[in-house]
Structure formats: structure tokens, C-alpha cells
Amino acid sequence: MENFIVSARKYRPSTFKSVVGQASITTTLKNAIKNNHLAQAYLFCGPRGVGKTTCARIFAKTINCKNLDENVEPCNKCESCESFSQNRSYNIHELDAASNNSVEDIRNLIEQVRIPPQVGKYSIYIIDEVHMLSSQAFNAFLKTLEEPPAHAIFILATTEKHKIIPTILSRCQIFDFNRIKVDDTVEYLEYIGKNENITYEVDAFNIIAQKADGAMRDALSIFDQVVSFSGNNITYQNVIDNLNVLDYDYYFKISDAFLKNSISETLLIFNEIIDKGFDAHHFINGLSEHFRNLLVCRDEITIQLLEVGANIRDRYKERTENYTEDFLFKALEVSNKCDVSYRLSKNKRLHVELSLIELCNITSEKKNSDKLIIEKEPVKKIKETEVPEQDTSKQVKENKTEEKTIIPKITNKPKSFSTFSIKEKLVQNSKPDIVEEQDSKEENDELKENLNNDFTEKELIDKWHQFSDKMGGKPRIFNTLTSKDPKLEENNIVSFVIDNNLQEEKINEIRNELLGFLKAELKNSLIDLKLILTDNEEDNNKLYTAEDKYKHMLSKNENLNNLKQEFNLDIE
């Protein structure tokens, strides 16, 4: 039985020409070889599976090839090329930095770099996943990387350039590899399908390319998986079944249900999707992508951004005229909001269903809005048309709900001078601000009357303690308020006895807040606070502030002032 070789290895490019999707990089490398402008170190960085290590190997083989063709491609026949193809070359060395990331590994590499090549002109060192090196290993590698022997060339490859220290980056020529486009991936899969005598549908390869997300290695792995599933006949249906990809038909059907405002049909389609085992989060992401595709199809300039097969692209072109830009913008906003908050939802299915119901209501809201505009037009027309005098009361009655704030009540009684209303005259002259000011003044007078309620001293003490509890985070103020109870005097005066100036200062800090609380709680706007300083000699002699303490100590020892001035001390 013949051993099976996976497509990613079997169809791995061996020449610059066979590298897919990196034309600018391969051209630059070939020109460097052709013009003998080889750098001492290169850094290949980019996503996984786009050809970084493959290009490094082709570059290394081409550098030492003795019989380059006119397109600067290796001959694959000389001793150097054959030894490389058979994995026995002593001029090309590969190091996996993921498993050889210590200082000792780099020291061994540095010792090896000193040995000149046995065949060819250069020794090439390919270090894969170089970002995995430790910081100590990077530092040990710096000097050799900057000033290597004339025969040594380093090619570093990584998927995470941001993890490499700047001193390493500055010593390398940096090449950023791109994600491989869907069309390029499909073209290469077609080439492999023909070589393997496999019948296929192009739309099937489009799904594989989209699933690979720009990585050719992933695309070839999926290709092998689908071949194992469907044999030598790859169809669109086989691919979506094997990869568990949601068919575009569902997105077209559910978006048509949105236009019809059919909530029941929408929920049934979603239920069918869930019953088939598809994840609700993947569905909502796919729905956002669907709306995005419909949007870019509306303009010939942006249609190139659509990464789907030809048949699917035609379907999008046909359907996009059914959806307005306003609908698509709103739909994208709703689906994106659902995607962002999906993970925080406890009932995820209900969360998605509510978003689908909101999508169904987009067009219905617009229809209702249009209907209101049509209903308002006759009213506007009546207002602009001259109406006979006898129909004035009827017209005012019809428009009363809309203009009650600017049209006074019309009666058949003529108004005498004694019953003349300033308020009505102001309304007729369209000056509601003055009326509102009068109403506000009346309300304030009424409020003032309602805030003159009587209260007892016990109620005062209860509210005082409530406010004290609110000041629990400020110990000095809390202690001051709870040291004694307030007294109620005549004319709503609240008296409170304090022991010293410090307590007076603390009370004054919260005076407005305290009075506001008492006025609101006791419903009396005339409350005022009077502070009474006690004449207790013992309390007055207490030292509260740092300044008081300093004066007391100075009275006992006058030399303290000299000490303060000599060392420029502050009193705190």
C-alpha cells in the first residue's frame, strides 16, 4: 500500500514561481540574488500558513545553486540542490526556536556559525518561530547577528513580530507576508484537483478558501479532509455538510422574512438552523457578514470586496436591490450589537431571537412613519387654506389636540373689558415664555407655603441623627454632630452647642448640606442654624490643632522657636 502524503507537503512550493500570493516578496528576493545584494539577516513575518518557512527554504537553496536559470530559479540538479532536496545539506541549517530557546542553544549555534560551508559559498541558518527565544537568548544572539562571518546568512521566521526585541529588528531586512486571497487559494486548489483527477465545483473550493482565512496550509488540510469525506467528487453541498458551514440560502431566506415583517417565519427559520446543530453565535456573525455583502454589492466600486464564489456573487447582485441602505445600516447595527453582548447574556437563544424580532420591525417602523406623514398632510393643507369666518370654531375644534397650547378657547360670548385675560392675550401673541414664568412663580409660592410645617424637637433630633449617620465617613464631623443633641427655639431656629473653634469650623463646612437636609425632611423652609460656643474652661483648654499644641509647648520652652527657624520646620 502506497504511503499517503498530505497535500500540504506534497504540493509545497519548491521554486519562487510556485509560491502563491507573495509575488512582491519573491521578486525582491530573486533580485537580491541576481544582483548579489544579499543582506546578513532577513526576517519573514506574517500569519500562519502563508509561506514564510517555504520561502526561506527556497531562498536558501537558490543562493547556493550553481546553475540558476534566466528567471533566477534553482536548477534542482546540481549537488547543492540535490543535497537540499534529500535533506542532507550541510550548508543549510534549520533551528526550531520553540524547542531550542535557551542561551545554551544559541551559544551552540554561534559556535557552528564559525565553520565555513563545504559546498557552495554561503551557510544559511533558518530559525523558525524566533519570537519564542528568551530575552537572554536574544541578547546572546545580537553580536553574531550584527557582525556574522562573511559566509553566514540568517533567515528568521515568526508569526508574532511584536514579541521580537527592537535591537533584533533593526539588524534584519523585514518582509511582511500577506494573507492569501480567496481567488488565489481557489486557483491553487483547482490546480491540485486537476493533478489528482478530482471533479469539483468551484463554489466548493470558495467555501474551503473562506474557511482557511488566508492560510494556504489550512486550505490544503481542509481539502484533504473533504476528499476523504466525498471521494473524488467535491460538491458544494458536501463541503458545507462536512465543515458544518451554514448555507447561504438560510441567510437569503431569513433576510427576505425581515422585509416581510414576518416574525413567525423568522423564528421558524432560526429554529431550523439551531436544530441542525449550528451555533447561534456563529449564525449571528454570519448574518452580519451577509448584510455587509449586500451593502458592498450596491456599488460597482466596492463589489471587489466580496470574497465569495461567482454564483453566490450573482445572487447577491440580484438581491441587493431589494434592500435599502437605511435598512442595511440599521440591520448591521442590530446584528453587531447582538454579537457584542452575546457572551454576557444568560438566555442566549432568547437574546438572538429578540434581535431577529428587532430586525423584522425595521421596515414596519418605516411604513408606520410614512403613514403618519401621509395622514398629517391634509391637516397642513387645511391650515394653509383660507377658511370662512363661520367655520373658525369647527377648524379650531379639529386641530385642538395639536394647537391647544397656542390657540385660546373660543366661545360665543363676547368678552367685556372687566373679564379681559392677560394670559389669553399672551397666548394669542405666541409668547408662552411669560406665561410659563408666571406659572412657575405660582408653583414656587405654593411650594413655599407647603414647606412651613410645624415639627417637634424629638422629630428634629431624629433627623439630626439621620444626617449624622450619613457623615460616618468623616470621623471629626460625625463626632461633633453626635456629641450633643440640638435644641429647638422660637421661629424655627435650631441651636447647637459646640466646645471650640475647631468644631465650629467643621460644622460650617457642612452647614448648607445640613440645613438642606433638615428643611427637606421636616418640610420647613424657614429652618436656620445657630451655633453656641460653650464657656467651659476645661474644654477651652484642650489642644485640638497643631498650632495650639505648638503654642502650648512654646510657652514652656522658648528655645523651640529657634529650633524651628534654624531647620526651617513647618507646623503640621
The beta strands (E) that lie in 212-301 are given as 233-234
The beta strands (E) that lie in 398-523 are given as 487-488, 493-498
Rounded CA-CA distance 326/314 in Å is 22
Identity (one letter) of the amino acid at 47? P
Looking at the chain, which residues constitute the CATH 1.20.272.10 domain(s)? 248-365
> Following DSSP, what letter does each residue of 289-304 receive, concatenated?
HHHHHHHHTTSTTGGG
Cell of 481: 454632630
Cell of 273: 438552523
Please answer whether residues 6 and 220 qualify as being in contact, where contact means their C-beta atoms are separated by less than 8 angstroms: yes
pTM of the model: 0.58
* pLDDT tens, N- to C-terminus, the chain (572 residues): 467 888 888 888 888 888 888 889 999 999 999 888 899 899 999 988 898 999 999 998 888 888 888 888 888 888 888 888 887 888 888 888 888 888 888 888 888 888 888 777 888 999 999 999 888 888 888 888 888 888 899 999 999 989 998 989 998 999 999 898 888 899 999 999 898 888 888 888 888 988 888 889 999 999 999 998 888 888 888 888 888 888 888 899 999 899 888 899 999 999 999 988 888 999 999 999 999 988 988 888 888 788 777 778 888 888 888 888 889 999 999 999 999 999 888 898 999 999 999 999 887 765 555 554 444 444 444 444 444 444 444 444 444 444 444 444 444 444 444 444 444 443 444 444 444 455 545 545 544 445 678 888 888 888 888 888 888 777 778 888 888 888 888 888 888 888 888 888 888 888 888 888 888 888 888 888 888 887 654 455 556 677 777 777 877 777 777 777 777 777 76
Looking at the chain, which residues constitute the CATH 1.10.8.60 domain(s)? 182-243
Identity (one letter) of the amino acid at 298? R
Looking at the chain, which residues constitute the CATH 3.40.50.300 domain(s)? 7-176
> Helix or strand or coil: residue 155?
strand
Please answer whether residues 67 and 75 qualify as being in contact, where contact means their C-beta atoms are separated by less than 8 angstroms: yes
Please tell me the predicted confidence (pLDDT) of residue 479: 82
Please answer whether residues 468 and 482 qualify as being in contact, where contact means their C-beta atoms are separated by less than 8 angstroms: yes
> Following DSSP, what letter does each residue of 14-75 receive, concatenated?
-SGGG--S-HHHHHHHHHHHHTT---SEEEEE-STTSSHHHHHHHHHHHHH-SS--TTS---
Distances, alpha carbon 223 to alpha carbons 22, 158, 211, 220, 242, in Å:
21, 25, 11, 5, 11
Cell of 194: 486537476
CA-closest candidate to residue 272, choices 289, 294, 288, 257: 257
Please tell me the predicted confidence (pLDDT) of residue 392: 45
Q: Does domain 7-176 have CATH number 3.40.50.300?
A: yes
CA-closest candidate to residue 212, choices 199, 200, 226, 198: 226
**Which neighbouring-strand residues pair with 155?**
42, 126
CA-closest candidate to residue 263, choices 371, 362, 147, 374: 362
CA-closest candidate to residue 93, choices 51, 118, 128, 126: 126
**Which neighbouring-strand residues pair with 158?**
45
Q: Measure CA 271 to chain center.
A: 29
Architecture field, domain 248-365: Up-down Bundle (1.20)
Cell of 27: 521578486
Rounded CA-CA distance 349/337 in Å is 15
| Cβ neighbourhood burial of 361 (10 Å; 0-12, 13-18, 19+) | middle
Please answer whether residues 450 and 460 qualify as being in contact, where contact means their C-beta atoms are separated by less than 8 angstroms: no
Rounded CA-CA distance 463/461 in Å is 6
* Beta sheet of 528-533, edge-to-edge order: 487-488, 493-498, 528-533
Rounded CA-CA distance 571/533 in Å is 26
Which string of b and e fits 107-123 if b means at least 16 CB within 10 Å?
Answer: eebeeebeeebeebebb
Residue with cell 486571497: 181
Q: Does domain 457-540 have CATH number 3.30.70.20?
A: no
**Which neighbouring-strand residues pair with 488?**
494
Rounded CA-CA distance 38/97 in Å is 24
- In this structure, the strands spanning 528-533 and 493-498 are parallel
Residue with cell 436544530: 275
Please answer whether residues 21 and 180 qualify as being in contact, where contact means their C-beta atoms are separated by less than 8 angstroms: yes
Nearest 5°: phi and psi at 38? -85, 130
Please tell me the predicted confidence (pLDDT) of residue 270: 92
Looking at the chain, which residues constitute the CATH 3.30.300.180 domain(s)? 457-540
> Helix or strand or coil: residue 244?
coil
Nearest 5°: phi and psi at 354? -65, -35
Please tell me the predicted confidence (pLDDT) of residue 385: 41
Please, what is the Cα angle at 177 between 174 and 179, to 5 degrees? 160
Domain 182-243 belongs to what topology? Helicase, Ruva Protein; domain 3 (1.10.8)
Residue 70's contacts (CB-CB under 8 Å, 6 or more residues apart) are: none
Please tell me the predicted confidence (pLDDT) of residue 421: 44
> Helix or strand or coil: residue 21?
coil
Cell of 393: 370654531
Q: What letter would DSSP give residue 98?
A: T
Please answer whether residues 131 and 164 qualify as being in contact, where contact means their C-beta atoms are separated by less than 8 angstroms: yes
Please tell me the predicted confidence (pLDDT) of residue 540: 52
